């Protein structure tokens, strides 16, 4: 069968959706602990790791330091042997990179075309296509992308997978894998007497307006959900505390993806500090136009890192006084600094390839811009989150972070750590079932599934 066979959906649209499903799976990968499952979906995990590496390399152009490539590969979980034997060759075949090796097979230089020969979602599909996934792996991807478009009964969900050219047994296997790795979820419907399958990305398709949908629900708790979702949309990077609302409802909204939460943690000086920031899933609707998909969470990482530097630094010890001024200068000049702490405080952004630290004299360093698209969007989010604050140059270079960010918890891991609360889960479960009805009506007019 053709890898992009998806009913009546155009080949380009089908490829984009399968590429995005791979990246959704890649974010879930660290939570997949069953060795048998990991072995069975090895091609998908390899594709995700390869594109995770490619995304980190984006913006570097030609790289003449093989060690830089190796270190980025480590951050993506790619061992050196696999880097040379599988990952670099398939990225080259898919026209994502080019590279040369010496007579001993060692890397001499690499040139990246990430986002140039297609956006990252399209390039992800090309890598997947060249690696040749099994039908069971394809069924898993289709299960992910179908559940991200609309909650469907289990029978309807399986029917949609088979319409993509797969057998009933393959469709059941794909759904089984999606539930085993917790990327898809099921909710019981007493009215339908059947399970309804969905995944947390369903809220970000743009097929149904979250605000309109929530407004049409009964009042009380639904109004609370609406306020939470609107706050996350209008002020990306708001803290949980600033968002307000009943804590159990906020937790349940995080659990099912109505809002996305990311947490920055620091243990500097023996003190454990953390801050959780919330975002709207509607960010995903712009993925087809963006070079770098936010399924990778780079923009969330950047914004959370900068805000943490402002909010969690102790007064009198140095902090980012004006995040807007700092990021504006970084975009305007391509670098900020020099400062001593730059060499130690921005390692998570370095690991993602968003910025690069360049040593200067006297033990100080500059922070160099690498991924302009991420930082530019980050500035827009900062302005939305903080308001249009003055951007005078005076505070732009105050870069010391008293509490250095050490860990970033992405929305997938955040969801996995939240326990279910009976009452709030019931609220959101009913919202999912109502969304199923609304999505069914939308599908009638604009079907992502084909007939």
> How many Cβ atoms sit within 10 Å of the Cβ of residue 120?
23
> How many Cβ atoms sit within 10 Å of the Cβ of residue 84?
18
Give mean pLDDT, residues 178-193.
89
The neighbouring-strand residues paired with 152 are: 197
Give how far the C-alpha of residue 370 lies from the chain's centroid of Cα atoms, to the nearest Å: 19
Closest CA to 122 of 252, 274, 288: 288
Please report which confidence band the pLDDT of residue 446 belongs to, taking 50, 70 and 90 as the band edges. very low
pLDDT in tens, 346-364: 788 999 999 988 887 777 7
| Residue 327 CB partners (closer than 8 Å, separation 6+) | 306, 375, 378, 379, 382
pLDDT at 242 over 90: no
pLDDT in tens, 31-87: 999 999 999 999 999 999 999 999 999 999 999 999 999 999 999 999 999 999 999
pLDDT at 4 over 80: no
Please report which confidence band the pLDDT of residue 290 belongs to, taking 50, 70 and 90 as the band edges. confident
Sign of the CA dihedral with 134 first, then 290, 286, and 304 last: positive
Give the lowest-confidence range in 176-185, 190-199, 337-346, 416-425. Answer: 337-346
| Residue 293 CB partners (closer than 8 Å, separation 6+) | 20, 23, 119, 120, 121, 284, 287
pLDDT at 395 over 90: no
Give mean pLDDT, residues 236-242.
88
Task: Please name the residue that has the structure tokens 């791979």.
Answer: 22
Q: Given this model, what pLDDT does residue 60 score?
A: 95
Please report which confidence band the pLDDT of residue 450 belongs to, taking 50, 70 and 90 as the band edges. very low
Query: What predicted TM-score, i.e. pTM, was given to this entire model?
Result: 0.88
Please report which confidence band the pLDDT of residue 315 belongs to, taking 50, 70 and 90 as the band edges. very low
d(CA 422, CA 73) in angstroms, rounded, equals 42
Give mean pLDDT, residues 211-233.
76
d(CA 366, CA 80) in angstroms, rounded, equals 29
Q: Given this model, what pLDDT does residue 312 score?
A: 65
pLDDT at 141 over 90: yes
Q: Given this model, what pLDDT does residue 317 score?
A: 43
User: Mean pLDDT across the chain, nearest whole number?
Assistant: 84
pLDDT at 1 over 60: no
Tell me the C-alpha to C-alpha distance, in Å, between residue 49 and each of 40, 81, 211, 449: 16, 14, 35, 28
Higher pLDDT, 246 or 70: 70
pLDDT at 316 over 50: no
pLDDT in tens, 87-111: 999 999 999 999 999 999 899 999 9
Q: How many residues does the chain have?
A: 451
Strands of 171-282, DSSP E = 185-189, 194-198, 238-239, 260-266, 273-279
Cα-Cα-Cα-Cα dihedral of 224, 205, 3, 167, to 10°? 50
Give mean pLDDT, residues 186-196.
86
Which H helix or E strand runs over 320? Answer: none
Tell me the C-alpha to C-alpha distance, in Å, between residue 383 and each of 283, 311, 391, 401, 443: 16, 16, 11, 21, 36
Three-state SS at 162: helix
d(CA 208, CA 149) in angstroms, rounded, equals 9
């Amino acid at each position: 069968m053709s890898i992009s066979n998806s009913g009546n959906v155009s080949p380009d649209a089908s490829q984009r959706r399968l590429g995005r499903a791979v990246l959704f799976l890649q974010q879930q990968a660290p939570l997949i602990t069953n060795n048998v499952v990991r072995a069975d979906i090895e091609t998908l995990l390899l594709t995700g790791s390869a594109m995770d590496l490619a995304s980190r390399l984006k913006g570097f152009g030609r790289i003449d330091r093989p060690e830089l490539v190796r270190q980025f590969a480590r951050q993506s979980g790619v061992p050196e042997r696999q880097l040379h034997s599988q990952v670099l060759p398939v990225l080259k075949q898919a026209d994502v990179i080019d590279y040369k090796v010496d007579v001993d097979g060692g890397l001499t230089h690499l040139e990246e075309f990430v986002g140039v020969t297609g956006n990252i979602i399209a390039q992800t599909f090309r890598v997947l296509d060249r690696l040749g996934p099994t039908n069971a792996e394809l069924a898993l991807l289709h299960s992910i992308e179908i559940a991200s478009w609309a909650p469907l009964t289990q029978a309807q969900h399986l029917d949609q997978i088979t319409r993509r050219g797969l057998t009933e047994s393959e469709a059941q296997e794909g759904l089984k894998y999606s539930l085993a790795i917790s990327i898809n979820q099921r909710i019981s419907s007493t009215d339908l007497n059947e399970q309804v399958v969905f995944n947390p990305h369903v809220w970000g398709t743009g097929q149904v307006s979250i605000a309109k949908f929530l407004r049409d629900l009964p009042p009380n708790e639904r109004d609370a959900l609406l306020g939470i979702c609107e706050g996350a949309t209008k002020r990306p990077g708001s803290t949980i505390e600033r968002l307000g609302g009943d804590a159990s409802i906020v937790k349940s909204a995080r659990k099912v993806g109505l809002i996305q939460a990311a947490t920055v943690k620091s243990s500097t000086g023996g003190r454990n500090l953390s801050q959780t920031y919330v975002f709207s899933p509607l960010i995903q609707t712009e993925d087809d136009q963006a070079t770098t998909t936010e399924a990778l969470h780079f923009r969330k990482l950047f914004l959370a890192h900068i805000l943490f530097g402002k909010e969690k630094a102790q007064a009198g010890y140095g902090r980012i006084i004006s995040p807007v001024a700092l990021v504006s200068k970084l975009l305007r000049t391509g670098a900020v600094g020099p400062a001593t702490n730059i060499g130690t405080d921005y390692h998570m952004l370095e690991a993602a390839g968003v910025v690069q630290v360049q040593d200067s004299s006297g033990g100080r360093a500059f922070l160099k811009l690498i991924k302009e698209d991420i930082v530019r969007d980050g500035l827009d989010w900062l302005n939305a989150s903080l308001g249009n604050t003055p951007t005078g140059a005076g505070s732009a270079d105050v870069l010391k972070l008293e509490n250095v960010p050490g860990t970033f918890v992405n929305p997938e891991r955040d969801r996995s750590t939240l326990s279910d609360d009976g009452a709030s889960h019931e609220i959101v479960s009913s919202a999912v079932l109502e969304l199923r009805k609304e999505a069914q009506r939308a599908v009638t007019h604009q079907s992502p599934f084909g007939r």
